[in-house]
Amino acid sequence: MDLSTPPPDLYGRPRADTFFRFLTAFGDRYTPALGGPLLRRNPRRPYSRPTQALQLVVTARRQVAADVVELTLADPSGGPLPAWQPGAHLRLTLPSGRERHYSLCGDPADPADPAERSGYRIAVRRLPDGGGGSVEIHDTLHPGTRLAARRPRNGFAFCAEPAVLLLAGGIGITPLLPMVREAMRNGLDWHLVHTGRSADTLPFAAELRALDPARVHLRADDEHGGPPTGAELLAHAPRGAAVYCCGPAPMLTAVQRALDASPAVSLHFERFGAAPVTDGEPFAVRLGADGPELPVPADRSALDVLREARPDLPYSCAQGFCGTCEVRLLAGTPDHRDRRLTPERRAAGALLPCVSRAAAGETLVLDL
């Protein structure tokens, strides 16, 4: 395997996630009911579960890179917010109804603001070709805007091993910022590598440099002839280090491939957007019993194909754990690849087209 080849695009995908699908499913199942009647209004979302909502208001907004804004979200009455730990994320419901997940990038143990409970901080890169969530945030969220969220959840927990290497691809710095501060507080042997297309696209660059210039390594692709290889990303790993990586799929793939040859011993990661399709076969989806049939190539998701015909089809994680893209299956035999639906819900016809597929030549008829 050629480890010297840089991944093709480290910064091209919208935000998303990882391993917290089990926690998400558990939390959703056992959080108190809130929206039954509301959820039932949408006939295309028959399996939506009750949620516990927080009401938040934007209290501050600042530019932290060329196309990245940081927002502070607080309780409208100034009350404390639920506590969180480094690596946690917030699921926001935007004014349009879109749901998006964003890592918390503040400091939950800030001595000036214990548990940072007076405001959550998130940072969002504007992605004109994304699903619309980041553009909506950039264009419409300003101090005073109210929006709903769920309590923070954490599927990317920081274990504070004695030696850690933190690897951030672009906006992937957000969950790692609180980890850096936690590492400093605990006297760990830590290094951070923060990469981006150019210096002006690196969020929080000045803030990071000020933390510890000897341990923070900022790397702009345009100054190095392209994105880093996995070996380059891991070059700052202390011996025996645990690696925490947040970035797009090609970056994670490069790091996974180079890990065995590095001084690091373990890898924790959080991914942006969808993972590449593996073991995919070409199949088809039909929009309703009499609707058009759309071919799904072996290397694309059904959600991608469906959204070309139905751009308003909701989605969020694109990884099969949030449930936002759920549709009802009318006919056909699916290959469920999600981490969210129970066997009972699958048997009742629920399908998550962001990851689920079908055998070669199969047609899945969807209630769309």
Contact residues for ligand FES (CB under 6 A)?
315-318, 320-325, 338, 352, 354
CB of 29 to ligand FES, least distance (A): 15
CB of 235 to ligand FES, least distance (A): 34
Q: How far apart are CA 157 and CA 154, in angstroms?
A: 6
Please answer whether residues 117 and 80 qualify as being in contact, where contact means their C-beta atoms are separated by less than 8 angstroms. yes
Which residue's CB is nearer to ligand FES, number 26 or number 78? 26
Give the DSSP letter string of 124-158: EE--TTSSSHHHHHHHH--TT-EEEEEPPEESS--
Which residue's CB is nearer to ligand FES, number 10 or number 317? 317
Q: How far apart are CA 325 and CA 316, in angstroms?
A: 7
Which residue's CB is nearer to ligand FES, number 202 or number 322? 322
CB of 265 to ligand FES, least distance (A): 31
CB of 154 to ligand FES, least distance (A): 18
Which residue's CB is nearer to ligand FES, number 71 or number 313? 313
Which residue's CB is nearer to ligand FES, number 166 or number 351? 351
Q: How far apart are CA 200 and CA 180, in angstroms?
A: 21
CB of 317 to ligand FES, least distance (A): 4
Q: How far apart are CA 333 and CA 349, in angstroms?
A: 10
Q: Is 136 left (phi over 0), alpha (psi -120 to 50) or beta?
A: alpha
Which residue's CB is nearer to ligand FES, number 13 or number 191? 13
Which residue's CB is nearer to ligand FES, number 246 or number 352? 352
Neighbour tally for 167: CB within 10 Å: 31
Q: How far apart are CA 70 and CA 184, in angstroms?
A: 23
Please classify residue 176 by burial: count the beta carbons closer than 10 Å to its beta carbon, then call 0-12 exposed, 13-18 middle and 19+ buried: buried
CB of 16 to ligand FES, least distance (A): 8
CB of 131 to ligand FES, least distance (A): 10
**Rounded to the nearest 5 degrees, what angle is found at the Cα of 176, between the Cα atoms of 170 and 178?**
135
The total number of residues shown for the chain amounts to 368
CA distances from residue 95 to 76, 139, 368 in whole angstroms, order as listed: 16, 12, 24
